């Protein structure tokens, strides 16, 4: 690829050579010819070096403060070491290497102008190109390192080429485990009486072995007071005993599309903000896993979505905890798929196509080169994609753009019949001796060409309008053709896959989502359908959760805790299967607690600050109360907050009748609350809400 400097230099050499030949001047001619030969030699040498540079390979190592790591942790900083190696002895051009940073991490810059992910220089077999930078992980998921983008140029700046060295490395980002010091709700440390699973009592309670002594707290039973020690210390001291029976806890984490939709992006002042509700649910699950591991209580995990559920039975140990964290990390890496029902494929392409083409131009530049993936001028100026799968009304200009090929065919058919019709009429008059066809023949000789000319003139005018106002649509067609060819080759579609993707909006939208999901690239999604309904409500997940809860109840034992981390704010009218399953769990002396993610940026509902027993007697917030809670962003946030508060009231009222606690996931309270409920189960039997 020639740069602008090379074009001006070549133009100057040709001008110099032309002047030397027109006005016979031997020095000027020799100078121009010498510069042209030197330019050709530089181009040939750059091509030779470019062939060797395309055999570069990348070696990557991610380290923490101590050693290389194979897994990452959310919210932690790591250091990436990248080496660009060369095994061929031929020299390489000047290289500017840019590491493709995953979307799930954020590079830590030393100052505003620094770019730590970029390195420049030459690469040889003895001296590889090396650079280092630090990055901080965001929420749980997967960090996908695609490779290194190379910008190759000669020393004069005449020639330029872009190449991508693909070296895909996927590292799971596990949810961060909170410190044990902040989780003091449970005091049990070890079961020394009997091995795990073997105990004398069928219900949890206090054992006979003394575990620890502590200061008396209001509410402690009098029988646990150590009177002799209290007399010596001149203050009340409470005895703590070991628990003989471990308390099992099963976490049901919602992994449906409703909690995968991004809610907010960016970086806060102290930590990375959550970009979806699933991140907060995963943090709560990780906190409970860590706390239960400290007291050796078995913890199970069940992930469910709209179609199925999968999980791990309650157990303990480092291997079990690592398996649960990896399962949570895999769930966080997935993104909503397919496009929300009720939205057309054309609407999806407006959002997906620019993002997918931008990603492909960075990661797959060799597959978008004109020599490999050419776009004929007729495909952008004379045709429009797609012709029949628009799916929605986008206006007259869009209709004209998509029907250009149809108009052109009508004009050609009209021209053909205006020329053929008089000939057929004249032949029929001669053969059948029908003088009555003279009028029709004369009309066809004049009306047909005039109508054809009018049709051609109208079509030319419409094509001119589209040429003047349809540059965005032509760019979209060019991107669509290139991405259709890339996806057809990448996913091994049938020979007609390219033509099918050019015409079928829904199929192309699904493949674009799959392409973006594989590369872990975020993209925007419509939250509401054309009818005004929430597109990711997913009422099917309620039945899946109810079945998973019933299976856990059938396999469980007495006094287990089932924690439901599920988004039900949009499903308050489809809760019958889940309510029935919760009644079965409560009838078998289990405990159920429900945490519902609350949208970020909205104030917590007033019912959240009141006791659970009063929820059944309270009325939903009135319009006057919700009008007082005005948001700074206008009427839309006010209406959204009012709708969510009413939905939360109905949800809380439905579960409060059975004694099931329903709380919002919007702060740091859920983990201590779950641990407190486990402690109550361990020490005092089944609590009553």
For residues 92-110, give the mean pLDDT.
Answer: 88
What is the 3-state secondary structure of 102-142?
CCCEEECCCCCCCCCCEEEECCCCCCCEEEEEEEEECCCEE
For residues 429-436, give the mean pLDDT.
Answer: 77
Helix, strand, or coil (residue 77): strand
What phi, psi does 461 have (nearest 5°)? -65, -45
591 vs 114: which has the higher pLDDT: 591
Does position 241 have pLDDT exceeding 90, yes or no?
no
* Angle between helical axes of 670-684 and 277-294 (0-180°, round to 10): 40
pLDDT at 274: 44
pLDDT at 269: 35
% residues pLDDT > 70 (the chain): 78
Q: In what order do the strands lie in the sheet with 249-254?
A: 309-315, 299-304, 249-254, 561-565, 591-597, 661-665
pLDDT at 240: 75
pLDDT at 535: 74
For residues 96-125, give the mean pLDDT.
Answer: 85
Residue 387, exposed/middle/buried by CB under 10 A (0-12, 13-18, 19+)? middle
Q: What angle do CA 381, 385, 386 make, to 5 degrees?
A: 150
pLDDT digits (tens, 9 = 90+) for 163-221: 899 889 999 998 876 654 444 444 444 444 444 444 444 444 555 567 678 888 887 88
Q: How confident is the model at residue 332 (pLDDT cuts 50, 70, 90)?
A: confident
What number of CA atoms fall less than 13 Å from residue 286's CA on the CB side?
A: 25
pLDDT at 531: 66
DSSP state of 273: P
Residues 161, 62: Cα–Cα separation, whole Å: 29
Highest-pLDDT range among 137-151, 462-476, 624-638:
137-151
334 vs 42: which has the higher pLDDT: 42
Q: How confident is the model at residue 633 (pLDDT cuts 50, 70, 90)?
A: very low
Q: How confident is the model at residue 236 (pLDDT cuts 50, 70, 90)?
A: very high
Does position 351 have pLDDT exceeding 50, yes or no?
yes
Does position 302 have pLDDT exceeding 90, yes or no?
yes
What number of CA atoms fall less than 13 Å from residue 65's CA on the CB side?
A: 4
Residues 280, 601: Cα–Cα separation, whole Å: 14
For residues 81-105, give the mean pLDDT.
Answer: 88
Mean of the per-residue pLDDT values for the chain?
79
For residues 136-164, give the mean pLDDT.
Answer: 90
pLDDT at 392: 57
Q: Tokens 């005993």 sit at which residue?
A: 241
What is the 3-state secondary structure of 463-526?
HHHHHHHCHHHHHHHHHHHHHHHHHHHHCCCCCCHHHHHHHCHHHHHHHHHHHHHHCCCCCCCC
Residues 5, 122: Cα–Cα separation, whole Å: 22
Please enumerate, as own/partner, the contacts of 270-273 that have beta carbons within 8 Å and a separation of 24 or more.
271/75, 272/75, 272/106, 272/136, 272/138, 272/139, 273/600
Q: How confident is the model at residue 93 (pLDDT cuts 50, 70, 90)?
A: confident
pLDDT at 648: 85
Does position 680 have pLDDT exceeding 80, yes or no?
no
């Amino acid at each position: 690829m020639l740069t602008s400097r090379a074009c001006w230099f070549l133009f100057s050499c040709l001008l110099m050579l032309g002047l030397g030949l027109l006005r016979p001047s031997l020095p000027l001619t020799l100078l121009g010819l010498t510069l042209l030969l030197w330019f050709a030699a530089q181009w040939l040498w750059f091509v030779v070096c470019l062939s060797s540079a395309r055999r570069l390979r990348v070696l990557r190592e991610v380290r923490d403060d101590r050693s290389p790591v194979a897994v990452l942790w959310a919210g932690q900083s790591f250091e990436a070491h990248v080496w660009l190696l060369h095994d061929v002895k031929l020299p390489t051009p000047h290289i500017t290497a840019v590491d493709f940073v995953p979307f799930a991490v954020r590079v830590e810059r030393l100052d505003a102008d620094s770019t730590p992910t970029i390195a420049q220089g030459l690469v040889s077999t003895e001296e590889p190109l090396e650079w280092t930078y630090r990055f901080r992980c965001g929420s749980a998921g997967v960090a996908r390192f695609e490779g290194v983008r190379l910008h190759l140029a000669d020393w004069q700046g005449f020639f330029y080429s872009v190449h991508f060295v693909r070296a895909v490395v996927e590292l799971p980002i596990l949810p961060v485990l909170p410190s044990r010091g902040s989780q003091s709700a449970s005091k049990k440390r070890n079961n020394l009486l009997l091995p795990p699973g073997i105990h004398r009592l069928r219900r949890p309670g206090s054992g006979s072995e003394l575990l620890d002594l502590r200061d008396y707290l209001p509410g402690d039973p009098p029988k646990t007071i150590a009177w002799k020690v209290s007399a010596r210390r001149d203050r009340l001291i409470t005895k703590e005993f070991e628990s003989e029976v471990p308390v099992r806890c099963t976490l049901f984490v919602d992994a449906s599309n409703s909690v995968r939709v991004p809610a907010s992006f960016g970086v806060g002042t102290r930590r990375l903000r959550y970009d979806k509700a699933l991140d907060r649910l995963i943090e709560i699950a990780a906190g409970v896993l860590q706390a239960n591991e400290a007291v050796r209580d078995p913890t199970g995990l069940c992930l469910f979505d709209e179609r199925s559920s999968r999980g791990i039975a309650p157990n303990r140990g480092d291997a079990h905890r690592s398996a649960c964290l990896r399962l949570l990390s895999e769930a966080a890496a997935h993104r909503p798929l397919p496009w929300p029902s009720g939205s057309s494929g054309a609407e999806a392409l407006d959002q997906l196509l620019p993002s997918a083409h931008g990603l492909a131009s960075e990661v797959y530049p060799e597959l978008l080169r004109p020599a490999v993936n050419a776009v004929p001028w007729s495909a952008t100026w004379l045709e429009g994609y797609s012709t029949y799968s628009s799916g929605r009304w986008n206006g007259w200009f869009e209709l004209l753009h998509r029907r250009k090929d149809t108009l052109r065919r009508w004009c050609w058919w009209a021209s053909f019949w205006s020329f053929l019709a008089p000939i057929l009429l004249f032949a029929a008059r001669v053969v059948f001796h029908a003088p009555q066809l003279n009028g029709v023949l004369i009309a066809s000789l004049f009306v047909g060409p005039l109508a054809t000319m009018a049709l051609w003139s109208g079509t030319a005018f419409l094509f001119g309008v589209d040429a003047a106002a349809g540059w965005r649509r032509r760019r979209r067609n060019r991107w669509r053709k290139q991405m259709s060819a890339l996806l057809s080759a990448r996913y091994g579609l049938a020979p007609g896959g390219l033509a099918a993707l050019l015409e079928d909006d829904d199929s192309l939208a699904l493949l674009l989502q799959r392409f973006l999901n594989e590369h872990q690239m975020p993209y925007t999604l419509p939250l509401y359908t054309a009818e005004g309904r929430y597109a990711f409500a997913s009422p099917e997940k309620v039945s899946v959760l109810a079945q998973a809860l019933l299976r856990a109840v059938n396999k469980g034992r007495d006094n287990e805790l089932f924690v439901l981390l599920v988004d039900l704010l949009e499903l308050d009218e489809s809760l019958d299967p889940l309510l029935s399953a919760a009644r079965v769990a409560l009838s078998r002396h289990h405990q159920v607690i429900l945490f519902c993610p609350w949208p970020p940026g909205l104030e917590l509902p007033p019912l959240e600050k009141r006791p659970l027993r009063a929820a059944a007697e309270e009325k939903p917030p009135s319009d006057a109360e919700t009008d007082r809670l005005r948001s700074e962003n206008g009427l839309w946030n006010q209406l959204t907050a009012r709708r969510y508060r009413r939905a939360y009231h109905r949800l809380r009222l439905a579960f409060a009748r059975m004694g099931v606690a329903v709380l919002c996931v919007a702060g740091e309270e859920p983990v201590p609350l779950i641990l407190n409920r486990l402690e109550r189960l361990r020490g005092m039997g089944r609590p009553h809400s």
